[in-house]
């Protein structure tokens, strides 16, 4: 995660190499990326947001994340050219993977990739969900993007929304629910 602008450009570039209809699926920050990439690539038939950010034009992921209470347990590290952040490994399971077993959550905590702060400070420039059909999966036990924040985004965007009792790591704890919504969007 190098920043919304550069990550969107990267994903858009990759998507142009794929012929035919495409369903874009974004989890967490990936929701912001697909929102911005969707309008730059032909043949996007639908969008799917899985416990994801759905920013409006001009809004940042950081602004949306700040609506969750308490704030995310992040650890910052200065690096050349900026700062990188990760979830505090000691609090990862509580914030990100509360419905996974301890061993799996611990493995995810130590293998997570850092994000630059630009991932949360670059403003969204597109709203792919305004012109492309989309679905959203809200996770009611989420402590990374609180359910009320997810509902705020899905309601204002008029998403076809499904809710499940799951943490932010819903694709691991409830893969069937994730698969079902993607298949629905693909039809």
The residue among 11, 28, 9, 4 whose CA lies nearest residue 146 is 28
* pLDDT tens digits for range 79-124: 888 889 888 999 999 989 999 999 999 999 999 999 988 888 899 9
- Which residue in the block uniquely carries the two structure tokens 């032909």? 42
Q: Residue 41: what are its φ and ψ, rounded to 5°?
A: -125, 135
What count of other Cβ atoms lies within 10 Å of the Cβ of residue 168?
26
Cβ neighbors of 101 (< 8 A, separation 6 or more) are: none
- Mean pLDDT (the chain) is 93
All structural domains of the chain with their residue ranges = 4-69+123-186
pLDDT at 145 over 80: yes
Is the model more confident about 149 or about 74? 149
Distances (CA, A) of 110 to 71, 92, 183: 21, 9, 31
- What pLDDT was estimated at residue 118? 85
Among the CATH numbers 3.60.20.10, 2.60.40.10, 3.40.1410.10, 3.40.50.1820, which is that of 4-69+123-186?
A: 3.40.50.1820
Distances (CA, A) of 92 to 2, 9, 64, 179: 21, 29, 20, 25
- Model confidence at 53, pLDDT cuts 50, 70, 90, reads very high
**pTM, 2 dp:** 0.93
Q: What is the pLDDT of residue 29?
A: 95
Q: Is 36 helix (H, G, I), strand (E, B) or coil?
A: helix
Residue 164 — very low, low, confident or very high, per pLDDT cuts 50/70/90?
A: very high
């Amino acid at each position: 995660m190098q920043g919304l602008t550069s990550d969107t450009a990267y994903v858009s570039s990759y998507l142009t190499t794929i012929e035919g209809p495409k369903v874009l699926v974004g989890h967490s920050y990936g929701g912001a990326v697909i929102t911005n990439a969707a309008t730059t690539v032909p043949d996007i038939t639908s969008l799917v947001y899985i416990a994801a950010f759905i920013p409006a034009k001009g809004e940042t992921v950081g602004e949306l994340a700040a609506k969750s209470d308490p704030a995310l347990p992040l650890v910052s590290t200065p690096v050349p050219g900026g700062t990188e952040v990760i979830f505090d490994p000691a609090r990862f399971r509580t914030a990100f993977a509360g419905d996974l077993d301890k061993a799996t959550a611990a493995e995810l905590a130590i293998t997570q990739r850092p994000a630059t702060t630009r991932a949360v400070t670059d403003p969204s420039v597109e709203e792919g969900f305004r012109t492309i059909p989309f679905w959203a999966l809200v996770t009611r036990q989420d402590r990374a993007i609180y359910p009320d924040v997810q509902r705020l985004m899905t309601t204002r965007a008029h998403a076809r929304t499904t809710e499940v009792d799951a943490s932010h790591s819903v694709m691991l704890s409830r893969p069937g629910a994730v698969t079902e919504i993607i298949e629905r969007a693909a039809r």
